[in-house]
Amino acid sequence: MRWWRPFDRIHLATVAQYTTSPFTLLGIALSIFLGFRNNAAYDRWWEARKQWGQMIYEVRSLARASATLLGEEDALRRELMAWGSAYAHALRGGLRQLNVSDALCAAVGERNAAAALAGRNPADYCMREMGRVLGRAFQAGRIDGQGLRILDERLTGLAGVQAASERILSTPLPYAYTLLVHRTAYLYCYLLPFGLVGSMGWFTPLFTAIVAYTFFGLDALAEELEQPFGETPNALSLDALCRVVDISIAEALGEPAPQPLQPVNHILL
């Protein structure tokens, strides 16, 4: 018998005495933390999606009401809806920190686009221009006070979408909570093999990898859903939603509508 054999037996006996009870309790606590964070992140994503769905509703309602009150071929109505398209793209650019000058130029022309982009909040500028168009229509006698109220309610709805989107963007989940979940997940997966080796033997790396994949996968998914206006695969497809707005406006004005955006590599931006 070699001199180190007794130490091997002591070591193996010590490992065999480890139980999975502490890891079970820690795993339950970590699952609760991850579940809460995923629910909070998905709630942010779903609220953002509802707000942009509300935007499409408000734009379509504005197009229908303006056709009734101003007439199908009225120049002020066309200007109003052009600023509506610019508003959607300007809000997308503000939420994603993108340059949307091309989209704004296509909607309202280079001069108006430059004026909108010169301010700190281009979407708010577009909203004010829509209000000015309604003001000119009212002053010219094209609509009465009741018609002005009906159309202005649609602008108020669009302003609510913008405020809610900016609130979601500027209020992320607390960083300390995210850091706690990260560190707890790493610590748990590092220590898990010591709790499984006594009962799993050579299968310990396999089960540890499965548990780590599950925990880290949920953590990564929550991190993407936390910022619904990003450009990750699981973020909202703001480009496609703006294209829906453009299609709705073009069809309401009787103009050729662009084609809907299609997914690229199963990802719709």
Write out pLDDT tens, residues 146-205: 999 999 999 999 999 999 999 999 988 777 777 777 777 878 778 777 777 777 778 878
Q: What is the pLDDT of residue 19?
A: 60
Compare 135 and 14 and report the one with higher pLDDT: 135
Q: What is the pLDDT of residue 20?
A: 63
Tokens, residue 100: 């949307």
The 3-state DSSP class for residue 255 equals: coil
pLDDT interval class at 18 (50, 70, 90): low
Q: What is the pLDDT of residue 3?
A: 44
Q: Which residue's entry shows tokens 């709790």?
A: 195
pLDDT of 1 higher than 60: no
pLDDT of 90 higher than 90: yes
Q: How far apart are CA 210 and CA 204, in angstroms?
A: 10
156 CB contacts (<8 Å, ≥6 apart)? Answer: none
Q: What is the pLDDT of residue 39?
A: 86
CA angle 101, 104, 107 (to 5 degrees): 150
**Model pLDDT for residues 20-45, shown as the tens digit of each residue:** 666 676 777 777 777 788 888 889 99
pLDDT interval class at 9 (50, 70, 90): very low
DSSP 93-133: HHHHT---HHHHHHHH-HHHHHHHHTSS-HHHHHHHHHHHH
**Model pLDDT for residues 211-265, shown as the tens digit of each residue:** 888 878 888 888 888 889 988 888 899 999 999 999 999 999 989 989 988 888 8
pTM of structure: 0.82
- The whole-chain average pLDDT of the chain stands at 85
Compare 1 and 121 and report the one with higher pLDDT: 121
Q: What is the pLDDT of residue 202?
A: 80
